[in-house]
Amino acid sequence: MSEEPKPRRRQARGERRIAQLLQAAANVFCANGYTASSTNAIAREAHVSPGTLYQYFPNKEAIAIELGERLLHQMREAHGQAFTPENLALPLPGLLDAVVDPLIEFNCANPAFLALMHGSEVPGRIAEEHDELHATLLTRVQEVIAHYAPTLPAEDRLRTAGMTFAAFKGGLDLVLAAPEGAERDATIAELKTLLLRYLSPLVEPPVTESPSVQSPSVERPVTTTPSR
Amino acid sequence: MSEEPKPRRRQARGERRIAQLLQAAANVFCANGYTASSTNAIAREAHVSPGTLYQYFPNKEAIAIELGERLLHQMREAHGQAFTPENLALPLPGLLDAVVDPLIEFNCANPAFLALMHGSEVPGRIAEEHDELHATLLTRVQEVIAHYAPTLPAEDRLRTAGMTFAAFKGGLDLVLAAPEGAERDATIAELKTLLLRYLSPLVEPPVTESPSVQSPSVERPVTTTPSR
DNA sequence: GGCAAACACGAGTGATCACTCGCGTTTCTC
DNA sequence: GAGAAACGCGAGTGATCACTCGTGTTTGCC
């Protein structure tokens, strides 16, 4: 009935330990996957005894869930600022920069995120929340497509959004596999090119007074700004 | 020194058991991932005792390796017939059909393949062989691109091939997630559209006597034949 | 300074897993 | 049909893992 039957008062030290443990868990999960990671290994990575770990988490799954929720929250922030209305006013290449860069940035900075979300071995709870995020992102992409191609039938829009997102995920893996630096930047630019070429034929020119101008800008190998 | 210190004579019954065990292993690996699958569970799935399983495989890893090698072999056959020289003579949409369809077919029929190749939890041996296949496929894609765009610098060609393959993998996941039937077919067609729009701007018209004709056919939302 | 609660420890516990072993059954070979 | 070898079984074994518990230390509060 009551929401919090355990009003355990945490000290500052405790909060620090939790953060420390979650960081260690992220490293270990990232290296070995969820199932193959032992709680003792996480405790060792955090320079802490197994008993201490279980003072803050009731079981192994809870560690993954807490870590997953924190990452998911950061992810939501990242994509929240990516899909702002003013970005929608941008031409397609600009929008791609505005949307793709933060998402890539986040996944580069938090490799544990994909490791935790992608496996079929993760506890069900994480999978559910990941599905929610997935659905949210898909909706956003659909909205963007609807904005650029208002006359596209809803069915086509859904299919296009799904494929756009799937291609992005594939490209994201490639970006993460590339070594940081120039090569990674080039891969990111290439991913944007892919998305631009895929979506360009769909955009309908905004209704203006001049009905003749119309150049989908797809002949040149488009280079969007390489971020930073 | 000798190559085969164990010339164990297998009876027909034994070969059948092996196939049965590998099929069971494919199901279990596919459902739970490699690490979380127990050898006892595989034996149970095959309606066989744990002892019998270990009559044919020295350890758990050997099961995954044998299964992986058989799938890899089938995969090589599938992509071998996909990249034939006569397919290279086809226009780009035709080539996409010829290459994409068999690969998708294979992965639909053998979901264990991706489950075994994708995880970071698999025994090192599998990962190595998968990397080899990956490199082979990448080379093939590069050759195809070189055929369609002979003047493209090698560096660009490599990047394009990598992104093409990455996008295909992303799209493949989407296809596998779609329910079989019309929806899956539509997803496959959309994947081909994506690849076509990405690659079309690169193709250079074959050198003929008429130097003026040149229409990259990218304005219309291209529909490749939906296979079968 | 003294008390209670939060923090920290690490050896210990029960469950599970990969793998073995001894023995009985089927199949092949002559 | 008899001997050998492949096949088949399932209880058992040692290792590892998630998790606990008794005890000692640090911190917040009066």
CATH number of the domain that residue A35 is part of:
1.10.10.60
- Residue A222 near residue A184 (C-beta atoms within 8 A): no
pLDDT in tens, chain A (228 residues): 444 455 678 889 999 999 999 999 999 999 999 999 999 999 999 999 999 999 999 999 999 999 999 999 999 998 888 888 888 888 999 999 999 999 999 999 999 999 999 888 888 889 999 999 999 999 999 999 999 999 999 999 999 999 999 999 999 999 999 999 999 999 999 999 999 999 999 987 765 555 554 444 444 444 444 443
Same domain, B165 and B137: yes
Residue B81 lies in a domain: yes
Q: Report chain B residues whose CB lies below 8 A from the CB of A32.
A: 120-121
CA distances from A26 to A59, A112, A125, A226, B139 (A): 16, 5, 17, 29, 35
pLDDT digits (tens, 9 = 90+) for B36-83: 999 999 999 999 999 999 999 999 999 999 999 999 999 998 888 888
Measure, in angstroms, how far nucleotide D18 C1' is from residue B32 CA.
Answer: 19
Same domain, B78 and B49: no
Token pair recorded at residue A223: 């280079």
Closest listed residue to residue B191, CA positions, set B223, B217, B163: B223
- Domain of B154, CATH number, reads 1.10.357.10
Range of the domain at B28: 13-57
Same domain, B78 and B168: yes
Angle between helices B182-199 and B92-109 (to 10 degrees): 140
pLDDT digits (tens, 9 = 90+) for A177-207: 999 999 999 999 999 999 999 999 998 776 5
Q: What is residue B87's predicted lDDT score, i.e. its pLDDT?
A: 85
Residue B221 lies in a domain: no
Q: Is the CB of A4 under 7 A from strand C?
A: no
- Nearest nucleotide to A46 (CA to C1') is C8
Mark yes or no for CB contact A162/B197 under 8 Å. no
Same domain, A69 and A50: no
Same domain, A80 and A128: yes
H-assigned helices in B121-181: 124-148, 154-177
User: Which residue matches tokens 């008429």?
Assistant: B210
- Residue B169 near residue A170 (C-beta atoms within 8 A): yes
Same domain, A114 and A96: yes
State the DSSP code for B209. Answer: S
In angstroms, the CA B188 to CA B182 distance is 10
Same domain, A108 and A186: yes
The total of structural domains in chain B comes to: 2
pLDDT digits (tens, 9 = 90+) for B123-134: 888 999 999 999
Q: Report chain A residues whose CB lies below 8 A from the CB of B185.
A: none
Task: Name the residue in chain A with its Cα closest to that of B123.
Answer: A32
Closest approach of B171 to chain A, Cα-based (Å): 6
Q: Is the CB of B39 under 7 A from strand C?
A: yes
Residue A223 lies in a domain: no
Token pair recorded at residue A34: 């969820």
